[in-house]
Amino acid sequence: MIPGSLAAMAAVLLSGREDWFQRIPLIGFFGALGWSFGGSISYMQVIAYTHSGHSASVLYGFACLFVIGFLWAATGGAGTVLAATFSRERVNELFPAIIAVFVGWTLQDLTLAIWAFDDSDFRHESPLYWFDTDWVGVLVAMISVAALAAMRRKWDEGCSLVLYMALGWWVGFLLLVNVLGLRMTPPRGDNWAGILGMVGGLWVFLWRRRDQAVLWASITAGFWGGFGFAFATLLKLLEVKTGLNTNWHSVLEQSYGFINGLGMAYVIWQLARRAPVTSEVNAREWTTKFSVIFVLLGITYLNLAKNPAVWIKAKSVPAILYGISASAWFAIAYLLLLALLLWMLAKKPAFIPATPFGRGQLLLLVLLWWMVVGNFERAVVGFAEQRLITEGVIFLNAVILSFLIVRSSASPRIESQSFHVNRAISVGVVASLLTVLGSWITIRAVYGNTFAGHANLHVRFGTNGPAAGPIKGRPHP
């Protein structure tokens, strides 16, 4: 959610499209949602396959990384562009369904907490365990929009979008995993199959409504993301070969994020030149305010609420303070911030810029530095020199981004309103084959049958396949 929201708002601020500036909170909100889905896909074992030195497993690993990266970016690109190109009335219509799903998921979490279903390392012992997927959350989303429609006696576009994506998830998961028995990284989770179906459901929704711009953006961003995950892993393995010792996984993550950022920049750049001007007719102020609250408090709380546990483990903060847990104190602090933010949104104090562009800059800067400081607070209790590869680069990126977004650009000239979906698919398929095969050939040339290290040894096929589990430190024969 963090980079999804930041990248979406930054790209729009630098696009020069004044008609999009008023939607920056909405774009930050939907950018976060779109990029969040990929986080449910298990991928560490896939990366390990590319380290294995086993030819078929290396090829399989790069191919699966392309698929995962594609799915991650396809939903992210769609969410970002949807908020920019849909009419304001259509964007508004999505909010009741999304909020209903949020309520459903909150009730789900509370219910599972009361029933003490373990969702940690022992989640496989839960009666709700089904290939370690989010099937309960998908089912709850469907029930939530059905309940909303029954209460309102109205089935709107937001409910349709949720239903298309949820039904697609079930088709992908049931068909690929349960019927065909395709498991990407056993015994790890198979959310990849559900997300694959969900992307298909999203595309059907967009195709039926002729939302060509969003469909093109989803496909284009998807191929960027697929290339990014595979290529960033290739770079990591080449860097490991230098013999230097650092946090190479962090380098991989940041390289992949950088390539995803380039992909979103390209998509927004193309849309800025081609997408028709949008109107704020029928704009509802509450949806903008809701988006601001979610971007500033929702995103930050969901990520930083994990900090107290890290502080307690490092013995920097007591687990209980005045009879109240550290996590509860953290939640209380956020409730006070919520009250303050609601007051500011109502009163509109003088320090909030008068222009949509200025408000967008402020929103991005606050989220950016809130997360930089919050992330550093998490890391500082166990800081080591290798953390500079992560926290140091994050700080540098934040400085560069802060500099870039204060620069304004002229409004681009809209050249056309055509989006060549078929061309994007053709180019993307060729690029995917070249990426996967090129990465496989390169790593085979560099490492041969030698295990690269910097990961547990996982071999997807053969006698050391998934049934044998991870093998540490042993070169493959």
pLDDT tops 50 at residue 470:
no
pLDDT tops 80 at residue 32:
yes
Average pLDDT over residues 38-44: 90
pLDDT tops 70 at residue 476:
no
- Tens of pLDDT, residues 167-194: 999 999 999 999 999 999 888 899 999 9
Residue 9: the pLDDT is 94
Please state the length of the chain: 477
pLDDT tops 60 at residue 354:
yes
Residue 58: the pLDDT is 94
320 sits in which H/E element: strand 320-321
pLDDT tops 90 at residue 104:
yes
CB atoms within 10 A of CB 214: 26
439: burial class by Cβ within 10 Å (0-12, 13-18, 19+)? buried
pLDDT tops 70 at residue 122:
no
Average pLDDT over residues 348-359: 88
Residue 475: the pLDDT is 40
- Tens of pLDDT, residues 211-223: 999 999 999 999 9
CB atoms within 10 A of CB 136: 16
At 468, list the tokens. 């044998």
Average pLDDT over residues 328-343: 95
CB atoms within 10 A of CB 88: 19
> In the chain, what are the domain boundaries?
2-285+410-468, 286-409
Distance CA 17, CA 414 (A): 10
Residue 471: the pLDDT is 38
**Sign of torsion over alpha carbons 417, 421, 426, 429:** positive
Average pLDDT over residues 324-338: 94
Average pLDDT over residues 97-124: 82
Residue 465: the pLDDT is 56
